[in-house]
Amino acid sequence: MEILQQLWKIICQLIESSGFAKLSWENYIMVAVSFCLMYLAIKKQFEPLLLLPIAFGMCLVNLFPEIMGMPTTQMLTEAEILAKGVNPASYTTTILNGETYYNYTEYGGLFYYLYMGVKLGIYPPLIFLGIGCMTDFGPLIANPKSFILGAAAQIGIFLTFIIATAIGYVAPDMGFTASQAGSIAIIGGADGPTAIFVTTKLAPELLGPIAVAAYSYMALVPIIQPPIMRALTTKKERSVVMGQLRPVSKLERILFPIIVVVVVALLLPDAAPLVGMLMLGNLFKESGVVDRINKTAQNELMNIITIFLGVTVGATATGKVFLTWQTLGIVALGLFAFCLATASGVIFGKIMYKATGGKINPLIGSAGVSAVPMAARISQKVGQEENPGNFLLMHAMGPNVAGVIGSAVAAGVLLSVLK
């Protein structure tokens, strides 16, 4: 009989500690959301390299919240620590009112430690290192005017900041603080690592929704951008065939990252970690003397950081944080920022079209919203719809990589003002 009672007790304990007893309805909804994201990543292949780890991290943290748990220290008496079945000699002691207490430490969950790379702003610059190794700044060096289009696309960030701040006046319950508004606005830069970097510094409580929104919109570039590009341009403008870019020498390519990092770090030190690592990666590539480091940074290191970044960002999307009206606001404002960035890039493209007497195709302006190389591919695709013999890809790569630098500079502005 006693054996049965013990057995029943163990079964009760197992049920009490199981997910069924602990989890709330919000967790189950988030698990369902993560399944939808996994479907989009696997079946539709929307940014699978990031969306899949994000979705799985989201699923895991909602099934087992302790995986993101912080380390804790309890002060226990000798009797209490012996009851835990551990050796008291392994713990430091604190004497309080003449009584000895043992500092019993429980370590945090796996994702808590991996998340430190996000929280301390380590992963996004390392991702930028890998991106730098893979980026060809040749089209930008050949046509430096592309920098203007990269800057124009950042207008979406600052206009969204105004809208996000204004919401607080219209609906005070849904309002965002200035720091939160800045973190939401950076989604318009269409640059995941930059969005994460800024959010961890300004509004870490919004990291989950902002990261998911940023990567979702980057994946939806082929759906969001073309209608805006067609609406803002005429058939004649879309058909413009641009002249061939001049060849860029190796020396110019080597000097470019060094010059950019000096200029940006001196003018905007807050953007230095992102731009610095981007340019370091590019210098690895262009110098041609550190082939092994270059390969490691763009393959193994980048893949490892992508896994850590993905799962831990996903793990911040717990039910209680994610299922709020604020999240809906972030999703809507993120979309607005992205559309505005595309539109401002195309409008500046039109201005350059007029200024150069029709030599520049305005479609390359939309590529100013980072999202390398997807946004450049969209410029190429929409241009070829009008003229199948038109190849805009290399011309669009100029504003595209300028957009990466531009969004990092915009991030530096937000950080220096709002931090």
Partner 1 sequence: MDNMTQAWILLLAGFIVVFTVLILLIIIVTLYSKIVTSVQKAGEKKKERKKVVKIEVIEPTPTKTVPEPEENDDEIPGEIIAVIAAAVDAVYGEKTHKIKAVKKSRSSRSAWARAGVLENTKPF
Q: Are 137 and 282 in contact (CB under 8 A)?
A: yes
DSSP 143-205: -TTHHHHHHHTTHHHHHHHHHHHHHHHH-GGG---HHHHHHHHGGGG--HHHHHHHHHHH-GG
C-beta closer to partner 1: residue 50 or 198:
198
Instruction: Compute how many other C-beta atoms are within 10 angstroms of the C-beta atom of residue 398.
Output: 27
Alpha-carbon distance 304 to 402, whole Å?
A: 26
Of the candidate residues 141, 240, 337, 371, the single one contacting partner 1 (CB under 8 A) = 141
**Binding range to partner 1, per CB under 8 A, among 89-97, 127-135, 140-148, 380-388:** 140-148
Examine residue 268 and tell whether it contacts partner 1 (CB under 8 A): yes
Examine residue 259 and tell whether it contacts partner 1 (CB under 8 A): yes
Of the candidate residues 241, 267, 328, 355, the single one contacting partner 1 (CB under 8 A) = 267
Of the candidate residues 140, 211, 240, 378, the single one contacting partner 1 (CB under 8 A) = 140
Q: How many residues interact with partner 1 (rule CB under 8 A)?
A: 45
Least Å distance between CB 133 and partner 1?
A: 17
Nearest alpha-carbon partner for 317 in 56, 8, 15: 56
Which residues contact residue 179 at a Cβ distance below 8 angstroms, ignoring those fewer than 6 apart? Answer: 202, 203, 418, 419
* Tokens representing residue 188 in the block: 């318009």
C-beta closer to partner 1: residue 171 or 263:
263
**Binding range to partner 1, per CB under 8 A, among 53-61, 233-241, 257-265, 370-378:** 257-265
Q: Are 341 and 157 in contact (CB under 8 A)?
A: yes
Least Å distance between CB 252 and partner 1?
A: 5
| Cβ-based burial of 169 (10 A; exposed 0-12, middle 13-18, buried ≥19) | exposed
Which residues contact residue 81 at a Cβ distance below 8 angstroms, ignoring those fewer than 6 apart? Answer: 88, 91, 102, 104
Alpha-carbon distance 279 to 258, whole Å?
A: 7
Of the candidate residues 260, 278, 335, 401, the single one contacting partner 1 (CB under 8 A) = 260
Examine residue 212 and tell whether it contacts partner 1 (CB under 8 A): no
Instruction: Compute how many other C-beta atoms are within 10 angstroms of the C-beta atom of residue 124.
Output: 27
* Tokens representing residue 32 in the block: 């369902």
**Binding range to partner 1, per CB under 8 A, among 4-12, 122-130, 252-260, 303-311:** 252-260
**Binding range to partner 1, per CB under 8 A, among 201-209, 231-239, 246-254, 328-336:** 246-254
C-beta closer to partner 1: residue 148 or 311:
148
Q: How many helices (H) and strands (E) does the chain have?
A: 23, 3
Least Å distance between CB 352 and partner 1?
A: 12
Alpha-carbon distance 380 to 395, whole Å?
A: 9
Examine residue 251 and tell whether it contacts partner 1 (CB under 8 A): yes
Examine residue 351 and tell whether it contacts partner 1 (CB under 8 A): no
Examine residue 356 and tell whether it contacts partner 1 (CB under 8 A): no
Alpha-carbon distance 51 to 45, whole Å?
A: 9
Residue 373 preceded by cis peptide, ω within 30: yes
Q: 257 vs 12, 129, 141, 261, CA distance in Å? A: 63, 12, 11, 6
Examine residue 154 and tell whether it contacts partner 1 (CB under 8 A): yes
C-beta closer to partner 1: residue 182 or 208:
182
Examine residue 413 and tell whether it contacts partner 1 (CB under 8 A): yes
**Binding range to partner 1, per CB under 8 A, among 310-318, 320-328, 386-394, 400-408:** 400-408
Of the candidate residues 10, 36, 162, 174, the single one contacting partner 1 (CB under 8 A) = 162
C-beta closer to partner 1: residue 37 or 405:
405
Q: Sign of torsion, CA 28 30 33 35?
A: negative
C-beta closer to partner 1: residue 295 or 381:
295
Examine residue 406 and tell whether it contacts partner 1 (CB under 8 A): yes
Of the candidate residues 165, 298, 327, 379, the single one contacting partner 1 (CB under 8 A) = 165
Alpha-carbon distance 164 to 329, whole Å?
A: 9
The contact set with partner 1 (CB under 8 A) reads 140-141, 144-145, 147-148, 150-151, 154-155, 157-159, 161-162, 165-166, 168-169, 178, 181-182, 248-249, 251-252, 255-256, 259-260, 263-264, 267-268, 292-293, 402, 405-406, 409-410, 413-414, 417-418
